[in-house]
Each structure stands twice: as C-alpha cells, then as structure tokens.
C-alpha cells in the first residue's frame, strides 16, 4: 500500500469518526409517545370556547429541550385556532424529557411536537380521571409547572392501598412477574424516579437503574395501579419527584420494596 492510499484511508477513518461523534441524538419523552399522550390526557384543560362548540384542533410547537431535560423557548409553528395555543403551551411546559445529545454529551436541542385536541377523547378522559380541571379539586393545588424534590415537601407523597393491606400483600395480589425474568433468573433492582402530580396521577417515569426481562415495564405498571396522595407545600398539593427501588431476586417471583430516602414519602 503506497503512502498516498494510506493517507487517504486514515483521513476517511478520522472523518467518519468525527461524523459519528458529531451526530445529534434527539430528546425523547420517557416511555415514548404513548406515555406523552397519556400525560396530556390526564392534564388537559379544554379551552372554554372550543368546549362550548365541541370543536377539535391541533397546535404544532417548536421548543428547546435543555441538557437537563426541561423545556424552554416555546414558539408556535402552526395552529388550527388561537384558542388552543395557551393550553398547548401549558401542557408542553409541564413535560420533562430524556435529554438529547450532541458531540457525545447532553445538549440543548430544538424539537417540534404536535399537541392534538379532540373533544370526544377529552370527554372520555374526564370520565376516567374524574375531574375537568386538575387545579379545581377538593383541596388546594399549586398551579406552577415546577417539580419539587422530596426534600422541599412539608407533607410527603404517600401510597394509598386497599384497607388492611401493606405493600408486601398488595404486591402478592397484583404482581405479574415477567416470564423472561424468571427464565433468566435475574437478580438486582429497578430504581425508578417519577413525578406524582397534584391530582395523584403519576407521570414521567425515568428508569435510573434498569433491569432486563420486563422488570422495568412491570415496575411502571405497578406504579400506575397504585393510588397516590400528592406531596404538599404550605398546604397546597404540588408536583414532586418520588423514587422507588424494587428488588428482584433469583428465579422466583420475588419483588421487594426498598424505601428510598429521596422518595420523601411512605409505603403502608
């Protein structure tokens, strides 16, 4: 191989190496689009003018997902009606993301998202969740988008289980231990961080320590089955983070709850 060919090959290798590391990885919503739509359905306040006319529509927004997964610089790309814009802004402002990457590091990345407003779907969501407005409940609610750490809460998050049940007995009734985890004889733990909304709905499931074999998915399913009492500050229910550690042991159906200090709440 002559010197010129060798130089060309080295150049091509270096060029490809730079391209790979310069590639942009888009931010993602934890759990994907289905979880994002579920979150929007749980929080949507239908605009009064569109509700009275039973109208549907959409808004496409551009925004930046920061390197820490928050949202800023929201702007309108397109809209079916001005009436939907404020609620679209509010819903997107509530979201937290798995940050995108550039040059092999978390980075601020601009993205777009369509927020759909379906009057019929909204009516069904209201029937499921039991309220029209997540800020008009039987208790005081903080209306900001801020998600508080457990250490800031005056009253911690609590899990609401059936009367007379503790977490161990509840798990025994509701756990569907993944077949793949049984076959593999997995042992370890799932550490999951999520938001408990002021309504008691859970959202934004970040798997900080994953475990294969369907254990992550089963942990999220169990969290959604539980009832949750939101944390409070100055008597108002707020958005707050909760952390759970679920231990998985051996080949048996062994899920164990390990209290996490950063959870800032209690399990009965």
Could you give all domains of the chain from N- to C-terminal order, each with its CATH number?
24-129 (3.30.2420.10), 147-266 (3.30.2420.10)
Q: What pLDDT is recorded for position 249?
A: 65
Contact (Cβ atoms closer than 8 angstroms) between residue 125 and residue 43 = no
User: What does the DSSP 8-state code read for residue 141?
Assistant: B
Reading the block at residue 175, the tokens are 């756990």
Q: Show pLDDT as tens, one digit a residue, over the chain (268 residues).
A: 555 544 544 455 444 444 444 578 999 999 999 999 999 999 999 999 999 999 999 999 999 999 999 999 999 999 999 999 999 999 999 999 999 999 899 999 999 999 999 999 999 999 999 999 999 999 999 999 999 999 999 999 999 887 777 887 887 788 888 888 888 888 888 999 999 999 999 999 999 999 999 999 999 999 999 999 999 999 999 999 999 988 776 544 455 544 444 444 444 4
- Measured CA distances, 57 to 77, 94, 114, 155, 182 (Å): 14, 20, 10, 39, 46
The alpha carbon of residue 28 and the mean position of all alpha carbons in its chain are separated, in whole angstroms, by 10
φ/ψ of 224, rounded to 5, equals: -70, -25
Each residue's pLDDT tens digit, 104-163 = 999 999 999 999 999 999 999 999 999 999 999 999 999 999 999 999 999 999 998 877
End-to-end CA distance of the chain: 72
Q: How, if at all, do strands 57-65 and 232-233 pair?
A: unpaired
Task: Evaluate the CA torsion angle 131, 34, 240, 71 in order and state its sign.
Answer: negative
Prediction pTM value: 0.84
Reading the block at residue 260, the tokens are 């996490």
Reading the block at residue 29, the tokens are 């919503």
């Amino acid at each position: 191989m002559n010197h010129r060919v060798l130089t060309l090959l080295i150049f091509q290798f270096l060029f490809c190496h730079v391209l790979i590391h310069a590639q942009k990885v888009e931010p993602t919503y934890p759990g994907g689009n289905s979880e994002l739509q579920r979150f929007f359905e749980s929080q949507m306040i239908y605009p009064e003018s569109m509700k009275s006319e039973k109208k549907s529509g959409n808004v496409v927004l551009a925004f930046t997902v920061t390197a820490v997964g928050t949202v800023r610089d929201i702007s309108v790309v397109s809209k079916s009606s001005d009436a939907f814009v404020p609620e679209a802004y509010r819903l997107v402002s509530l979201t937290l993301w798995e940050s995108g990457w550039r040059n092999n590091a978390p980075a601020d990345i601009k993205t777009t998202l369509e927020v759909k407003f379906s009057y019929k779907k909204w009516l069904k969501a209201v029937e499921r969740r039991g309220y029209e407005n997540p800020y008009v409940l039987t208790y005081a609610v903080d209306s900001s988008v801020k998600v508080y750490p457990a250490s800031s809460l005056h009253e911690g998050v609590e899990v609401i289980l059936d009367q007379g049940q503790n977490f161990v007995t509840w798990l025994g009734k509701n756990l569907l231990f993944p077949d793949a985890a049984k076959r593999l004889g997995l042992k370890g733990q799932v550490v999951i961080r999520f938001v408990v909304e002021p309504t008691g709905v859970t959202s934004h499931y970040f798997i900080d320590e994953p475990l294969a074999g369907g254990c992550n998915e089963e942990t999220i399913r169990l969290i959604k089955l539980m009832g949750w009492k939101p944390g409070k500050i100055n008597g108002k229910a707020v958005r707050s983070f909760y952390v759970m550690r679920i231990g998985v042991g051996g080949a048996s159906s062994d899920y164990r709850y390990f209290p996490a200090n950063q959870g800032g709440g209690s399990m009965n």
